[in-house]
Amino acid sequence: MKKRIYIDVETSGLDPECCAITQLGGIIEIDGHEVERFNWRLRPFKGAIVEEGALSITGVSIEDLKSYPDQSIAWTEFITMLNKHCDKFNKQDKYHIVGYNCQKFDVEFLRAWFTRNGDRWYGSWFWPNTIDLYSICSLYLEPVREQLPDFKLSTVSSSILGSDCPTGQLHDAMYDIILTKALLDKIFINIKKSI
**Predicted local distance difference test score (pLDDT) of residue 110:** 98
Mean pLDDT of the chain: 95
Strands (E), 106-192: 131-132
Asked if pLDDT for residue 16 goes beyond 80, the answer is yes
**Predicted local distance difference test score (pLDDT) of residue 194:** 77
What's the whole-model pTM score?
Answer: 0.94
**Domains in the chain and their CATH numbers?**
3-132 (3.30.420.10), 133-194 (no CATH)
The predicted-structure confidence for 130-163, as pLDDT tens digits, reads as follows 999 999 999 999 999 999 999 999 999 999 999 8
The predicted-structure confidence for 19-72, as pLDDT tens digits, reads as follows 999 999 999 999 999 999 999 999 999 999 999 999 999 999 999 999 999 999
Tell me the CA distances in angstroms from 145 to 58, 114, 126, 138, 185, one per residue in order. 27, 36, 31, 8, 20
Asked if pLDDT for residue 195 goes beyond 80, the answer is no
Asked if pLDDT for residue 193 goes beyond 90, the answer is no
Percent pLDDT > 90 in the chain is 91
With CA atoms as reference, report the closest residue to 153 among 168, 166, 134. Answer: 134
The CA dihedral of 25, 21, 42, 131, to the nearest 10 degrees, is 20
**Predicted local distance difference test score (pLDDT) of residue 92:** 96
- Cα–Cα distance, 167 to 182 (Å, whole number): 12
Q: Answer yes or no: are the C-beta atoms of 13 and 51 closer than 8 Å.
A: yes
H helix or E strand, kind and range, residue 80: helix 71-85
41 φ/ψ angles, rounded to the nearest 5 degrees: -95, 140
Label the pairing between strands 21-30 and 131-132: unpaired
Residue 191 confidence class, pLDDT cut points 50, 70, 90: confident
Mean pLDDT across 97-117? 97
Residue 125 confidence class, pLDDT cut points 50, 70, 90: very high
Residue 190 confidence class, pLDDT cut points 50, 70, 90: confident
